[in-house]
């Protein structure tokens, strides 16, 4: 097997190979079958490709199964893997019971609604995909006689609006969520699913662990992605001013895609069952306004400006309430993980990936 897993994006390929080399000496994945849901998404696709790369470079004799809804997208995202014997895909919807008969040893469950505007326009579907979908994955997990681990991709949004007195947010530092705001369909759905995972771990001994990811980006992000970090990058590429639709006072930390994939694998293999782990680079704490200015000054080479234009229909954009949330990833670091890429380099690598599509 000499075909690159992401031959159309060299920056992403380099990241994937670095992940593969880091895990080459770890034996836990040898001779195992791994199921990845949400496999065509940003993080899920890179998990699949990193596992396939481990096979190619280290002969781990793994099988990787990508679970997705859209076959055309599978064929596009995994074009380099379609003829490989260690890769297969299943077309299905996690909102229905999973009928996959092939036994698996590990599950990485990343299927989820991801668009803020969708959370507002389709809050019922957002909640049902979270709850029904994860129940179907967990019920499938119950049937596995040799399941060694499962990781659920949750979000920093489970913390809501934290206590302003908290300098950093650990895994037990929950804040306030307005449950009657339909935008909360995503954060409340994630919270309930985390409880569901812990309950299956307790009652049915499913070895599931939880990854609470901060906002994550890098090569592989689609140029048309609607999230704010991609909008800033597009402005830098197109030499357009960055227009903020809020004051930009929200403060949070971020994570590079390669580091997030590495984190999922560390949690999968070494995390404690029924527990959650924050996934973030603690050195990237910045406000939205500050991040916009960083992009304008560095990637934009000072040729673009940052401006504020708050629309009257702001609620329809699906933005979170203003908050300060500095995740603490020390618990994850104790498993052996560390963040490797800073915020400016995250942008440069993401934009380099844009140019290779």
- Residue 40's pLDDT is 96
For residue 53, the surrounding DSSP H or E stretch is helix 42-58
> What's the pLDDT score for residue 53?
97
Q: What residues does 211 pair with on adjacent strands?
A: 153, 277
Query: Which pLDDT score, from 0 to 100, does residue 114 have?
Result: 86
Least confident range from 35-49, 190-204, 220-234: namely 220-234
Tens of pLDDT, residues 93-123: 999 999 998 999 999 999 999 888 899 999 9
What confidence category does residue 355 fall into, taking pLDDT thresholds of 50, 70 and 90? low
Averaged pLDDT of the chain: 94
- Rg over CA atoms, the chain: 20
Q: How many residues in total does the chain contain?
A: 357
What is the reported pLDDT for 317? 59
Cβ-count burial of 180 within 10 angstroms (0-12 exposed, 13-18 middle, 19+ buried)?
exposed
Identify the band that residue 209 occupies on the pLDDT scale cut at 50, 70 and 90.
very high
Give the pLDDT score at 323: 81
Q: Give the pLDDT mean for 220-244.
A: 93
Give whole-number Cα distances, 272 to 34, 57, 89, 332, 335, in Å: 19, 29, 29, 11, 10
Residue 74 clears pLDDT 80, i.e. is over it: yes
Distance CA 64, CA 55 (A): 10
Q: Which of 289, 291, 180 is nearest to 245 (CA)?
A: 289
Do residues 170 and 203 touch, judged by C-beta distance below 8 A? no
Extract the tokens encoding 242: 């960055």
What SS3 string covers 114-155?
Answer: CCHHHHHHCHHHHHHHHHHHHHHHHHHHHCCCCCCEEEEEEE
Task: Provide the 10 A C-beta neighbour count for residue 156.
Answer: 23
pLDDT, tens digit, 9 for 90 and up, residues 313-350: 656 555 667 888 999 999 999 999 999 999 999 999 99
pLDDT tens string 277-327: 999 999 999 999 999 999 999 999 999 999 988 876 656 555 667 888 999
Q: Tens digits of per-residue pLDDT, 133-158?
A: 999 999 999 999 999 999 999 999 99
In the chain, % of residues over pLDDT 70: 96
SS3 39: coil
Owner of token pair 């990845």: 36
CA proximity to 20, closest of 213, 262, 203 = 262
């Amino acid at each position: 097997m000499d075909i690159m897993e992401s031959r159309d994006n060299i920056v992403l390929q380099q990241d994937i190979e670095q992940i593969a080399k880091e895990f080459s000496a770890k034996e836990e994945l040898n001779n195992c079958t791994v199921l990845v849901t949400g496999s065509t998404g940003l993080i899920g696709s890179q998990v699949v490709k990193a596992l396939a790369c481990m096979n190619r470079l280290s002969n781990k004799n793994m099988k990787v199964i990508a679970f997705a809804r859209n076959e055309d997208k599978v064929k596009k995202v995994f074009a380099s893997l379609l003829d490989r014997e260690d890769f297969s895909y299943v077309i299905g919807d996690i909102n229905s019971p999973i009928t996959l008969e092939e036994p698996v040893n590990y599950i990485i469950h990343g299927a989820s609604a991801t668009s803020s505007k969708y959370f507002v326009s389709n809050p019922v579907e957002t909640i049902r995909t979270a709850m029904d979908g994860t129940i179907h994955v967990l019920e499938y997990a119950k049937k596995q006689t040799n399941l060694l681990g499962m990781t659920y991709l949750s979000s920093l949004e489970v913390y809501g609006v934290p206590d302003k007195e908290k300098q950093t947010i650990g895994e037990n530092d929950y804040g306030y969520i307005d449950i009657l705001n339909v935008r909360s369909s995503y954060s409340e759905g994630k919270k309930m699913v985390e409880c569901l995972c812990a309950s299956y771990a307790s009652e049915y001994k499913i070895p599931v662990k939880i990854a609470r990811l901060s906002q994550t980006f890098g090569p592989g992000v689609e140029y048309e992605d609607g999230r704010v970090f991609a909008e800033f990058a597009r402005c830098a590429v197109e030499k357009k001013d960055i227009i903020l639709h809020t004051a930009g006072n929200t403060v949070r930390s971020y994570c590079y895609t390669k580091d997030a994939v590495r984190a999922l694998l560390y949690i999968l293999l070494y995390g404690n069952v029924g527990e959650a782990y924050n996934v973030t680079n603690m050195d990237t704490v910045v406000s939205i306004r500050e991040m916009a200015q960083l992009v304008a000054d560095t990637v934009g080479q000072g040729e673009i400006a940052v401006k504020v234009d708050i629309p009257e229909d702001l609620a329809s954009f699906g933005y979170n309430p203003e908050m300060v949330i500095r995740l603490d990833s020390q618990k994850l670091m104790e498993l052996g993980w560390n963040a490797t890429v800073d915020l400016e380099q995250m942008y440069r690598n993401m934009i380099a990936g844009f140019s290779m599509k």
